Amino acid sequence: MSDKLPAVHMVVKNEDRFIWYCLSSILPFVDSISIIDTGSTDKTADIISSFSSKKIHFSSIPIHDPAELSKVRQYQLEQTAADWIWIVDGDEVYPKLLGDEISDIIQRRGTDLEGILIGRYDLMGDIYHYQDESVGTYNNFGRKGHFALRLLNKKIIKGLHIQGIYPYEGYYDGNNNEVLNREKQKYYFTNGRLYHAMYLQRSTLGTNLFDTFHRMKGKIELGKKFPQAQ
């Protein structure tokens, strides 16, 4: 294990349309990837198993209640020895420039930063269009837009743990303060953005996956087209 590389935590279910791209995009930048499948019925598990990298540690824990998902994330947290954890969803794809930026900031400021918030393009309709930045609803450390807290420094945030029930769980310190309420100067916002397929069809089984928590999302909205050079 390298203390300069983050350990990825993933909890997935029915993500076979994007999981290959997701894993391929983050593998060069991580120490390890813990993936727990909570009951996929599409080809997600087969695709994950097709990777030969020893960085990937794959297991299955079927769950039937959103509260169990938070417990799975807590289990991953307790099993991780790395200083930095990186929370990744199976519908996220990281451009190389963003991976390089994350690696660089951890190398340079990994001993004093507590967390990294990553900008994102929420894809709309297809992979060529995205939701306008003005619609972004996240509001953290005085900034509003499309971004999410994705990396945390366990070594600095003592007692880091999870509270709440999915999809409203959060990361808290040992004094039960949500980390998003800590000192904003200890948190870095990336210049680069990930591609987020939350509103696209993520499984070959279709979109009406009632047994997949929080999957019934959709948008009727005109997305912005990516520039040709994007």
Q: How many helices (H) and strands (E) does the chain have?
A: 4, 14
pLDDT per residue as tens digits for the range 141-168: 999 889 999 999 999 999 999 999 998 9
| Residue 112, both tokens | 């004093």
In the chain, where are the structural domains located? 7-225
Tokens 């994705």, located at residue: 150
Buried b (16+ CB within 10 A) or exposed e, 157-185: beebebeeebeebebbbeeeeebbebeee
Percent of the chain with pLDDT over 90: 81
pLDDT per residue as tens digits for the range 42-101: 999 999 999 999 999 999 999 999 999 999 999 999 999 999 999 999 999 999 999 999
**Does 39 have pLDDT greater than 90?**
yes
Beta strands 129-130 and 84-87 are unpaired
Q: Is 41 exposed, middle or buried (0-12, 13-18, 19+ CB in 10 A)?
A: middle
Percent of the chain with pLDDT over 70: 91
227: pLDDT confidence band, cut at 50, 70 and 90?
Answer: confident
Residue 214: its pLDDT value, please?
54
Answer CATH for 7-225 from 3.90.550, 1.20.120, 3.40.190, 1.10.20: 3.90.550
Q: Is 88 helix (H, G, I), strand (E, B) or coil?
A: coil
Q: Which of 4-13, 35-44, 213-222 has the lowest mean pLDDT?
A: 213-222
